[in-house]
Amino acid sequence: MMEEKYDDTFLARWLADDLTEEEKLRFENSAEHQDYLNIIESVDLMEAPSFDKKSVLTSIQQKQQLHTPKVRKLRTSWLYTAAAAVVLLFVGFSYMYLNADETFETGFGEQITVNLPDGSEVMLNAKTTLSFNENSWDTDRTVSLDGEAYFKVKKGEKFTVATTSGTVEVLGTQFNVLTHDDTIFEVKCHEGKVKATSKAQKTEILTQGKAFSSIEGKTSSWSFNTNEPSWRNDESNFREMPIKYVIEALQDQYEVQFIFENISTTERFTGTFSHNNLKLALRTVFDPMEISYTFKGEKTVILREAK
């Protein structure tokens, strides 16, 4: 009896359930069909981390070089193609599963609380992004942060907060981290102990009531009141912060846009502003800086140097 031959589209049509009834019946009654089911069963038993994908692909490519015709017997290169398709799908899904990050983002003026896999809590300020890999948490306890967050770490638990401007290593403590691009990095320890390392590899061990910052390459250390961070009570607080960042913080809380006219955005600001009253916030920030402000519509503010 002549052995059945299949073209290159057969596997795709079979997986898509697009075979005719006659083709499907003939294939399911063949020995080749059982071979393919055995491949699937073997893949189900694989563990992605120990799977040598490069070796298998090399083997498949070598076998395919021996079978170049466009119409080939199922039990030769077609079967290898089937195996490669299933294996690569398995590896792909395993890779995506193992490397899938949990990501949380806040909008303008929004605050949310995120629970980490170990039971620790992270409270995010406005326009902040937090991500971590829950599937690999036992072996890689790294949290990525862009923005500002307050961490309440469960006693005895340890992980690292990674930002573009520095890292924080923690063990059972409460602390606040502020980061912006790769130029601003500020850490305040409210309880316990943390290790803060700036992008320039300047390291500080912070205990309760101690703070550390690296702002545009300039580092500083100081003491502060260990009450809950002011932003948790709808008030932003700054110490020697470039005014351009304070302006961005106003944008994040109030969803407004600023137009600059003849002002220096490198001046430093120390003070606070409220999250509940835009006009009061503008007056609190810009009056001491001798910067005037006028509204252009409801969501645009023009800033000028006061005369």
Name the more confident of 232 and 60. Answer: 232
Per DSSP, the three-state class of 11 is: helix
Q: In the chain, pLDDT over 70 holds for what percent of residues?
A: 73
Confidence label for 117 from pLDDT (cuts 50, 70 and 90): very high
d(CA 247, CA 260): 10
Sort strands 5-7 and 268-274 into parallel, antiparallel or unpaired. Answer: unpaired
State residue 152's pLDDT score.
95
pLDDT in tens, 8-60: 566 667 766 777 878 778 877 777 777 666 665 555 555 544 445 455 455 54
Q: Please report the pLDDT score of residue 286 as a whole number.
A: 96
| Paired tokens of 274 | 């409220």
Domains and CATH numbers, the chain: 5-98 (no CATH), 102-231 (2.60.120.1440), 234-305 (3.55.50.30)
pLDDT attached to residue 2: 46
The answer on pLDDT for 123 being more than 70 is yes
The position carrying tokens 């942060």 is 145
Task: Tell me the C-alpha distance between 141 and 135, whole Å.
Answer: 10
pLDDT at 56: 45
Spatial distance between the Cα atoms of 101 and 88, rounded to a whole number of angstroms: 21
Lowest pLDDT segment from 62-66, 141-145, 217-221, 284-288: 62-66
Averaged over 196-223, what is the pLDDT?
95
Residue in this structure with the two tokens 């509940």, named with its chain if needed: 276
- Tell me the pLDDT of the chain averaged across its residues: 82
Q: Are strands 166-171 and 142-146 parallel, antiparallel or unpaired?
A: unpaired
pLDDT of residue 171: 83
Question: How many CB atoms are closer than 10 A to CB 302?
Answer: 14
pLDDT, mean of residues 157-163: 93
Helices (H) and strands (E) in the chain — how many of each? 7, 21
Residue 68 pLDDT class (50, 70, 90 cuts): very low
**CA distance linking residue 125 with residue 110, whole number of Å:** 7
For residue 186, what are the β-bridge partners?
178, 213
pLDDT for residue 236? 97
